């Protein structure tokens, strides 16, 4: 998808010099092969290594399902399809990139990796990948998520990972954040700072990231490629493709082959990103260079961002609580190829409940943002009588989100929407580039 962009993608900048980053700048943080993929803006296909394919066979290809029962419940003429990524134990698409990243780390002789996790899906996926390839994993889990989802820790530890609630007192940046905001529930941005600090100070250790970066989208393009193959078999052509967007990896992966077609003028598909109203990177953010973390240590990415100092309310869709967005998706949004919508979480859980009752699968809160947008799209078709074909990414299951479902049922789920003043505070933390 990246090589098909109309305008060249904005380069990654070094946080010190503000000059474009070379591979040498990124290698102390990330594995060599992933750095190469991150900086590769010209090759449109990179083969999946054989060992990664073997692992994928355990749970891929993932199903593409027609949501007949949801269509019926809505009384819509629209045809709704979804690609379901929740069939592995980690419960989401994140395993697709975790296994690829750990494969390349092992090839390089890396023995230890660090990362952050929000809702816990990425940490679990990484723990599974590390168990498979025999690497050791240290996971900084956003404090509010670790409190909401204690069972996630148990799963990660079962796969051999060590898990710390972030901000923690084990890192310099964690101690600084705790001193400034003792009651903070943490954020992905804080946890990333801690994980990078440990990675750069531990021998033979690298940092791995489960979203946002272009190499993660590359790994997730397996979702889109499988979907494209499955739909082509039955000559199904989507009119609109919808996905939830945290850092953009599932959405980017799902739309990759279809967006490439759109950029080449081969289709006229609409693409829609859906985010929480509590963390509205696309719909209320700014297109600017920003850090990926609260501690301002990462290279700078040009993206839609709320500012690295923005700490979103403890919304239950932990996987969508990141201040920024992948840079290629940001550019596509900026150039009008991608639309975006934001929803409050009570409406999202209402959509999740309708989906569970009609289709049977209990969706993750993150995925349910896409479901809400799909339902609105399908109801619009009912008004106009159009039989549009809607495709969406059902990124995961909600088995670890039962406390969120329970609060929704009890009527205690809150909709925390940041005020313009809250957002201005985050935007004020943007670096002057």
Ligand X SMILES: *Cc1c(COP(=O)(O)O)cnc(C)c1O
Residue ranges that bind ligand X, judged by CB under 6 A: 92, 94, 119, 121-122, 211, 244-251, 319-320, 364, 366-367, 395-396
| Residue closest to 290 by CA, chosen among 339, 329, 326, 248 | 326
DSSP 58: T
Q: How far is the CB of 394 from ligand X (least distance, A)?
A: 9
Select 122 or 355, whichever has its Cβ closest to ligand X.
122
Select 76 or 148, whichever has its Cβ closest to ligand X. 148
Place of tokens 């789920």: 413
Nearest approach, Cβ of residue 121 and ligand X (Å): 3
Helix or strand run (H / E) with residue 54: helix 50-56
| Cα–Cα distance, 130 to 396 (Å, whole number) | 21
Of the pair 84, 205, the CB lying nearest ligand X is at 84
85 three-class SS: coil
Question: How far apart are CB 223 and ligand X at their closest, in Å?
Answer: 10
Q: How many angstroms separate the Cα of 323 from the Cα of each of 115, 141, 386, 430? A: 17, 16, 36, 11
SS (H, E, C) 105-132: HHHCCCCEEEEEECCCHHHHHHHHHHHH
- What is the smallest separation between the CB atom of 59 and ligand X, expressed in angstroms? 14
Q: How far apart are CA 248 and CA 54, in angstroms?
A: 26
Cβ atoms of 23 and 36 closer than 8 Å: yes
Give the residue among 137, 428, 167, 181 at the shortest CA–CA distance from 307: 428
User: Which residue, 34 or 381, is less far from ligand X as judged by CB?
Assistant: 34
In the complex, the smallest distance separating the C-beta of residue 258 from ligand X, rounded to whole angstroms, is: 16
Q: Which is nearer to ligand X, 185 or 247 (CB)?
A: 247
Separation of alpha carbons 252 and 325, rounded Å: 11
Smallest separation, CB 307 to ligand X (Å)? 19
Q: Minimum distance from CB of 165 to ligand X (Å)? A: 18
CA-only gyration radius of the chain, Å = 20
């Amino acid at each position: 998808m990246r090589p098909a962009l109309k305008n060249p993608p904005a380069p990654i900048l070094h946080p010190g010099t503000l000059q474009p980053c070379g591979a040498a700048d990124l290698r102390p943080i990330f594995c060599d092969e992933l750095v190469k993929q991150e900086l590769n803006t010209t090759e449109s296909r990179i083969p999946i290594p054989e060992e990664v394919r073997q692992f994928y066979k355990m749970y891929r290809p993932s199903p593409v399902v027609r949501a007949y029962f949801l269509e019926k419940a809505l009384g819509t003429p629209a045809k709704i399809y979804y690609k379901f990524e929740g069939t592995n134990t980690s419960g989401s698409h994140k395993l697709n990139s975790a296994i690829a990243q750990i494969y390349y780390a092992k090839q390089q002789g890396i023995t230890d990796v660090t990362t952050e996790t929000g809702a816990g899906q990425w940490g679990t996926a990484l723990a599974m990948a590390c168990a498979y390839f025999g690497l050791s994993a240290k996971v900084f889990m956003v404090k509010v998520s670790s409190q909401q989802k204690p069972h996630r820790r148990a799963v990660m530890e079962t796969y051999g990972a060590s898990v710390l609630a972030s901000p923690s007192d084990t890192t310099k940046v964690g101690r600084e954040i705790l001193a400034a905001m003792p009651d903070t529930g943490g954020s992905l941005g804080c946890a990333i700072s801690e994980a990078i600090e440990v990675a750069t100070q531990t021998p033979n250790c690298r940092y791995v990231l489960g979203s946002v970066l272009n190499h993660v989208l590359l790994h997730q393009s397996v979702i889109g490629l499988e979907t494209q193959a499955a739909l082509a078999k039955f000559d199904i052509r989507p009119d609109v493709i919808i996905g939830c967007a945290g850092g953009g990896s599932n959405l980017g992966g799902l739309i990759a082959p279809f967006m490439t077609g759109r950029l080449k003028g081969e289709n006229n598909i609409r693409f829609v990103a859906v985010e929480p109203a509590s963390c509205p990177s696309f719909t209320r953010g700014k297109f600017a260079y920003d850090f990926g973390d609260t501690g301002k240590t990462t290279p700078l990415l040009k993206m839609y961002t709320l500012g690295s100092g923005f700490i979103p309310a403890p919304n239950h869709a932990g996987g969508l609580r990141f201040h920024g967005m992948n840079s290629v998706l940001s550019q596509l949004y900026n150039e009008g190829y991608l639309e975006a919508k934001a929803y409050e979480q009570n409406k999202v859980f209402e959509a999740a409940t309708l989906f569970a009752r009609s289709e049977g699968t209990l969706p993750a809160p993150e995925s349910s943002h896409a479901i809400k947008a799909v339902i609105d799209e399908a109801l619009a078709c009912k008004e106009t009588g159009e039989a549009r074909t809607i495709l969406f990414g059902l990124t995961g299951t909600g088995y670890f989100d039962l406390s969120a479902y329970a609060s929704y049922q009890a009527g205690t789920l809150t909709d925390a929407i940041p005020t313009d003043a809250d957002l201005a505070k985050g935007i004020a933390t943007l670096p002057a580039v």
